[in-house]
Amino acid sequence: MTDKSLAEMFPELVAFLPCETPDQWIEEAAKPENLDIILIDHANNELKAASAAQSLILRYKDGVKVTGQKRIPCNVDLLNKMSRLAREELRHFEQVLAIMTRRNIEYTTVKASRYASRMLKHARTWEPAKLVDTLIIGAYIEARSCERFHKLAPHLDAELGRFYLSLLKSEGRHFSDYLTLAQEISDEPIEDRIALFAEVEKEAMESPDEEFRFHSGVPVKTSEAA
Ligand SMILES: [Fe+2]
Ligand SMILES: [Fe+2]
């Protein structure tokens, strides 16, 4: 367990996030009857994170096509960082799966939350802007996961609490990898893009959300009312 605040551990990550997870979400996530959905959605998110990183490698391994003949050469840093990230996310997937198996939680189908798709809707469609926006969105997803693991850990049983805290270090690094790459690849300052996605992210966190998921907003239906 850690007594350290998230700001002490990851000051840049905390400064990057536009808000804290609302207490109503934590209250809902801490209910034992919601453990299945949290773990299943978490397992899905780890898989999706690994798959998104591999898609970036495949899409950009031979550089970024800017216009007709113009091309930004291959960014080896992107390929290495995404490869390591994909391996780590798959390892996390195996860890969640092991916990689910020990607890007899069946891996059922759970629809994705609105979170990532809300941000992806605002991504620009031309290169290299598309890649830069995708990386900034990746930084938000990683930063929010890290913040939620840290905030939720003390409300869970000892095994899960320890597991969630053990994920902080890699998720914190994934956040800074995505953000560094976005800054490296963009040929212009990215502050206005960060500000735009911050607004969308904050709205997704603080507005009412019908679905309860790992990255959902303020729960509309609490489990007693359901
Ligand atoms: Fe992960
Ligand atoms: Fe991650």
pLDDT digits (tens, 9 = 90+) for 11-46: 999 999 999 999 999 999 999 999 999 999 999 999
- Which residues partner with 208 through β-bridges? 218
Kindly tell me if the per-residue pLDDT of 186 is higher than 60.
yes
Give the number of the ligand closest to the Cα of residue 93: 1
The CA distances from residue 33 to 63, 74, 165, 214, in Å, are 47, 47, 21, 14
9 falls within a domain:
no
Q: What is the pTM of this model?
A: 0.95
3 falls within a domain:
no
Domain span at residue 37 reads 29-225
24 falls within a domain:
no
Long-range contacts of 98-102 (CB under 8 A, 24+ apart): 99/39, 99/159, 99/160, 99/163, 100/39, 100/40, 100/43
65 falls within a domain:
yes
Q: How far apart are CA 79 and CA 87, in angstroms?
A: 12
Please tell me the distance between residue 85's alpha carbon and the centre of ligand 2 in angstroms: 7
Give the number of the ligand closest to the Cα of residue 176: 2
140 falls within a domain:
yes
Please tell me the distance between residue 225's alpha carbon and the centre of ligand 2 in angstroms: 33
Q: How far apart are CA 22 and CA 217, in angstroms?
A: 8
Q: How far apart are CA 125 and CA 41, in angstroms?
A: 28
11 falls within a domain:
no
Please tell me the distance between residue 3's alpha carbon and the centre of ligand 1 in angstroms: 22
Please tell me the distance between residue 70's alpha carbon and the centre of ligand 2 in angstroms: 32
Please tell me the distance between residue 226's alpha carbon and the centre of ligand 2 in angstroms: 31
Q: Scan for tokens 């700001």, then name that residue.
A: 7
Give the number of the ligand closest to the Cα of residue 138: 2
Please tell me the distance between residue 68's alpha carbon and the centre of ligand 2 in angstroms: 34
Q: What is the percent of the chain with per-residue pLDDT over 70, rounded to a whole number?
A: 97
Q: How far apart are CA 215 and CA 217, in angstroms?
A: 7
SS3 65: strand
5 falls within a domain:
no
Please tell me the distance between residue 146's alpha carbon and the centre of ligand 1 in angstroms: 9
Please tell me the distance between residue 49's alpha carbon and the centre of ligand 1 in angstroms: 7
DSSP one-letter code for 104: T
Kindly tell me if the per-residue pLDDT of 144 is higher than 90.
yes
When the pLDDT of each residue in the chain is averaged and rounded to a whole number, the result is 95
Can you give the pLDDT at residue 226? Answer: 46
Q: Which of 15, 4, 9 is nearest to 179 (CA)?
A: 15
Buried b (16+ CB within 10 A) or exposed e, 110-131: beebbbbebbeeebeeebbbeb
Q: How far apart are CA 221 and CA 28, in angstroms?
A: 9
Q: What is the CATH number of the domain that holds 128?
A: 1.20.1260.10
Q: What is the percent of the chain with per-residue pLDDT over 90, rounded to a whole number?
A: 90
First to last CA, the chain: 33
Helix (H) or strand (E) holding 109: none
Q: How far apart are CA 220 and CA 25, in angstroms?
A: 10
Q: What is the mean pLDDT of residues 200-209?
A: 98
130 falls within a domain:
yes
Number of separate domains in the chain: 1
